[in-house]
Amino acid sequence: MEPAGQNPRPAHYEIVPRQGLDFGLDGDIPKYWLGGDPFKTRFFDAMSTLFPEGEKFFITCVRDYRDQITDPVLNQEVKDFMRQEGQHGMVHTQFNNRLKAQGVGVDGIEEQMKRILGRIRKIMPRTFTLGQTAAAEHMTAIMAHSFFHRREVMEDADPRIRAMYAWHAVEEIEHKAVAYDVLTKVAKASYFMRIFTMLYVSLIFPLHTFMIMSHMFKVDGFGWRQRAGLWFKGLWWLYKPGGLYLPVIPHYLKYYVPGYHPWKEGKMFSYERWLEVFGQTNDPIAAGNALHATGI
Ligand SMILES: [Fe+2]
Ligand SMILES: [Fe+2]
């Protein structure tokens, strides 16, 4: 157990659970809120449908080890992590209600997710489910970077939804090491388990997202030719050189390095700007706009 005081989290990256933030999600937001582009919009929408059940699962898997944590710093971090994730689930549920009104089968998606995750918890050891959580946290931290590092990704987004993702990104960065620390210091999971669970999450997460997007395109009434066009263009946007994914591959691969720790790299350069503007205005949309504006 690493004693308190040796926590590698930079002092100004506090884990702050922020509650009751109003993103104006009940407002008149266009269906294709990301530049009018169905693929890009549904990519983010599909992830949003996974968050409430997914984040509940993360909380449960970290909570499994709560009684074994003796480090008071880590114990407090776990508490704050759970409060942040709980809040994310609530805000994404509010957002997902918009999707429901568009005909997206959000309830069915959540039921299926619950069933799958419940089954995994039944048959797999607790180190596996915690490993899954730590791996997913690494992925969300990477996404926090890739969605906001380059301005073009979110340039044409509705500022309210962009702000919701900016806030989520900021908090994912703040707590990015918590599940990992519980996995390595408390559960003392092996290197093999860490890597194995990362490989599993790397395969399942995009697959599941794509399946939900496919459902959404059908709900939206696109014929098969249109859908083929959307996928062709959209997958190129995701996987082309300089696209959303390839530039962050080196960051992703760091997880496989023995001795890796989330705070060794990957600080979010726009984090301070978000904190500053949110501190001055208490307005998450202004803070989201400011974070977005720091992109290159
Ligand atoms: Fe989250
Ligand atoms: Fe998280």
- pLDDT tens-place string over residues 10-20: 766 789 999 98
Q: How many CB atoms neighbour CB 8 within 10 A?
A: 11
Q: What are phi and psi of 148, to 5 degrees?
A: -125, -5
172 alpha carbon – ligand 1 mean position (Å): 6
Burial of 227 by CB count in 10 Å (0-12 exposed, 13-18 middle, 19+ buried)?
Answer: middle
Q: 207 in a domain, yes or no?
A: yes
Expressed in angstroms and rounded, the spacing between residue 88 Cα and the centre of ligand 1 is: 5
pLDDT for residue 191: 97
Assigned domain for 22 exists:
no
Q: Does any domain span residue 193?
A: yes
Q: With respect to residue 16, please indicate whether it lies within any of the assigned structural domains.
A: no
199 has a pLDDT exceeding 50: yes
Domain that holds residue 88: 38-270
Each residue's pLDDT tens digit, 200-255: 999 999 999 999 999 999 999 999 999 999 999 999 999 999 899 999 999 999 99
Phi and psi dihedrals of 34, rounded to 5?
-105, 85
Cα maximum dimension of the chain: 59
Question: Is the residue at 281 inside a domain?
Answer: no
Q: Is 8 inside any structural domain?
A: no
Query: What ligand is nearest to the CA atom of residue 177?
Result: 2
Whole-number average pLDDT of the chain = 94
> What are 184-196's pLDDT values in tens digits?
999 999 999 999 9
Q: Measure 221 CA to ligand 2 centroid, in angstroms.
A: 33
Q: What is the model's pLDDT at position 91?
A: 96
Look up the pTM and report it.
Answer: 0.94
* β-bridge mates for residue 34, sequence order: 157
Could you read off the pLDDT of 278-291 as tens digits, one per residue? 999 999 999 999 99
pLDDT of 269 above 90: no
| CB neighbour burial string for 9-48, b if at least 16 within 10 angstroms, e if fewer | beeebebebeeebebebeeebeebbbeebbbbbbbbbbbb
Residue 157's φ and ψ, nearest 5 degrees, are: -80, 155
Ligand nearest to the CA of 52: 1
With bands split at pLDDT 50, 70 and 90, how would you rate the model's confidence at 67? very high
Q: 3-state secondary structure string, 141-192?
A: HHHHHHHHHCHHHHCCECHHHHHHHHHHHHHHHHCCCHHHHHHHHHCCCCHH
Instruction: Give me ligand 1 centre to Cα 55, in Å.
Output: 6
What CA–CA distances, in Å, run from 86 to 53, 82, 196? 10, 6, 27
Residue 2: inside a domain: no
Contact 292, 273 (CB under 8 A): no
Which ligand sits nearest to residue 174's alpha carbon?
2
The verdict on residue 168 lying in a domain is yes
Look at residue 9 in the predicted model and tell me its pLDDT.
75
Query: How many domains, the chain?
Result: 1
Whole-number percent of the chain with pLDDT over 90: 87
